[in-house]
Amino acid sequence: MEDKRANGSSGKPPFLERHGTAAFAVVATLAVAALVIVPQFTEDESPSDDPSPSISTVTQTPDLTALGERMCDKPAPQPDTKAYQGKGPHKFTAFDGDTTNLEFAQLTPDWVTKDAAEVELVVCFDARFVKVVNTCDLRNNDDEIVEVDVLAFDYHFRIFEARTGDLLDEQVERADDPTCPTSVLMEADKKRWSVDSPVDEDRVRDIVEPWVTATVD
């Protein structure tokens, strides 16, 4: 079997192990300011197989989830959605390949609808692991050093017109910020962990905005 672990410039592969039900602890370089949920992989999975983007799910709506699954897996016309025409904003839903993801749209809440019949655009994105860009030493609750690998990802964005199923745009954005996190939520007994480098939210807006705000004849 091909070794799917990445070898970044640090020379250290990411720590690939799925969370169990063990107790969690915060490791931090500073006083805890925020919690970051880290990617989770088994030894037989690579980050490209099971990405866990920084854009995290806040709401799961069955109708939107079903719409996203249909459009992102095998794009096809969705006749029960709203026609992409007239003046914007044109409502969209975003989908990460696992569940409908609405936090992606919190940058522009007036562009989003929870009603599948009002959706004009479907934004699909997935993440592919690239490499380790940094390894950070953080301290856990017992003042022990925990190594945390920062992982780079390529985020693949596709924008579809829901009613017709047409692909309108396709772009790839690399997230490779090596900055060490201030804190990480992880299993209490671990001495090695990994976090993904977040995609730049301004770039996400740049990708989506022209299609949402367009006037369509």
Tell me, what's the pLDDT at 143? 87
Q: 163 pLDDT exceeds 50?
A: yes
Tell me, what's the pLDDT at 51? 39
Enumerate the domain spans of the chain.
24-213
Name the helix (H) or strand (E) containing 131.
Answer: strand 121-139
Name the helix (H) or strand (E) containing 204.
Answer: helix 201-213
Digit-coded pLDDT (tens) for 31-43: 333 333 333 333 3
Q: 171 pLDDT exceeds 90?
A: yes
DSSP string, 67-107: HHHHHHHS----TTSPP--BSSPPPEEEE-SSSEE-GGGTT
Q: 100 pLDDT exceeds 70?
A: no
Q: Assess contact for 171 and 133: CB atoms under 8 A.
A: no
Q: What are phi and psi of 64, to 5 degrees?
A: -70, -40
Whole-angstrom distance between the N-terminal and C-terminal Cα of the chain?
Answer: 52
Residue 5 to residue 16: CA distance in whole angstroms: 8
Tell me, what's the pLDDT at 121? 95
Q: Assess contact for 59 and 33: CB atoms under 8 A.
A: no
pTM for the model: 0.66
Tell me, what's the pLDDT at 58? 40
More confident residue, 42 or 217: 217
More confident residue, 103 or 94: 94
Residue 45 to residue 136: CA distance in whole angstroms: 23
